[in-house]
């Protein structure tokens, strides 16, 4: 967290989100500035024509963004997505998707992050911009 307290391990951060685990998300790095993660193409994450389902790509990007937002929180605060927008540029048809997230703004009441998801060729699959509410303890 942004106060310098001890952080959970990368694996522990993903393990707290059962849906990210089910997606097969592997977190490579994460900090207050941003992070990267991967997700392998799997048939059970597809829609028609063996293309990765847009919902799986959105959830992947949202999960990485949530981790980066969490790392920007003051001690004791929580977070929840209040807005998320995804643009889809091309289908995910095999290999590994790599997400790269960056913090756009870490404010007192909201945190905004942007995540690009690319295929093995480095081509942009999706771009997600999300805003997380900072939920302060009562």
Average pLDDT, the chain: 94
Helix H segments across 26-135? 54-71
pLDDT in tens, 4-23: 556 678 778 999 999 999 99
Global pTM value: 0.92
Residue with tokens 């007192």: 108
Instruction: Give the model's pLDDT for residue 7.
Output: 67
Structural domains present in the chain:
10-135 (3.10.129.10)
Instruction: Give the model's pLDDT for residue 28.
Output: 97
Question: Looking at the predicted structure, is the pLDDT value of residue 105 above 60?
Answer: yes
Secondary structure, 3-state, 23-39: HCCEEEEECCCEEEEEE
Instruction: Give the model's pLDDT for residue 1.
Output: 53
Sign of the CA dihedral running 87, 125, 19, 9: negative
pLDDT in tens, 52-73: 999 999 999 999 999 999 999 9
Contact 23/63 with Cβ under 8 angstroms? yes
Q: Which two tokens stand for residue 71?
A: 């790392």
Instruction: Give the model's pLDDT for residue 10.
Output: 79
Contact 93/27 with Cβ under 8 angstroms? no
Cα distance between residue 102 and residue 25, in whole Å: 17
pLDDT in tens, 73-96: 999 999 999 999 999 999 999 999
């Amino acid at each position: 967290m942004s106060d310098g307290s001890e952080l959970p391990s990368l694996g522990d951060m993903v393990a707290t989100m059962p849906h990210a685990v089910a997606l097969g998300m592997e977190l490579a790095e994460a900090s207050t500035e941003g992070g990267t993660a991967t997700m392998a193409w799997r048939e059970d994450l597809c829609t028609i024509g063996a293309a990765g389902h847009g919902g799986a790509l959105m959830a992947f990007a949202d999960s990485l963004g949530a981790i980066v937002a969490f790392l920007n929180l003051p001690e004791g605060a929580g977070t929840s997505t209040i807005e998320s927008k995804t643009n889809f540029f091309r289908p995910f048809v095999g290999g590994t998707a790599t997400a790269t997230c960056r913090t756009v703004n870490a404010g007192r009441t909201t945190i905004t992050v942007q995540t690009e998801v690319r295929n093995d060729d480095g081509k942009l699959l999706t771009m997600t911009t999300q805003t997380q509410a900072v939920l302060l303890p009562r």
